[in-house]
Amino acid sequence: MHPRPSPIAAALYTLRDLEVDVIIMHGPAGCCFRTGRLLEDEGIRVITTAMNENDFIFGASQKLIDTIREVEEAFHPDSIGIVGTCASM
């Protein structure tokens, strides 16, 4: 077990250790950007739903569904991990 700086980073690294093919971060584009980039350097695709101000107010469940479909079409992954952020929970 490795200490992580935040629950989001811990979730990202746990999904890496579980060897998921793609990780979708359901939140703003900049959330945990550095951690996501480090994982991309390891060959893991990290995609974001890029929530905006309207999504925070009105919800973004359809945006997550659309992102999952886009990831499936683009990458045909065997497994997808989804990480909620402070903004989406």
In tens, the pLDDT along 68-85 reads 999 999 999 999 999 988
Q: pTM for the whole thing? A: 0.85
Is there a contact between 79 and 21 (Cβ–Cβ < 8 Å)? yes
For the chain, domains (ranges, CATH) are 7-84 (3.40.50.1980)
Measure the CA–CA gap between 14 and 81, rounded to whole angstroms: 10
The predicted pLDDT at position 7 comes to: 86
For residues 41-60, average pLDDT: 89
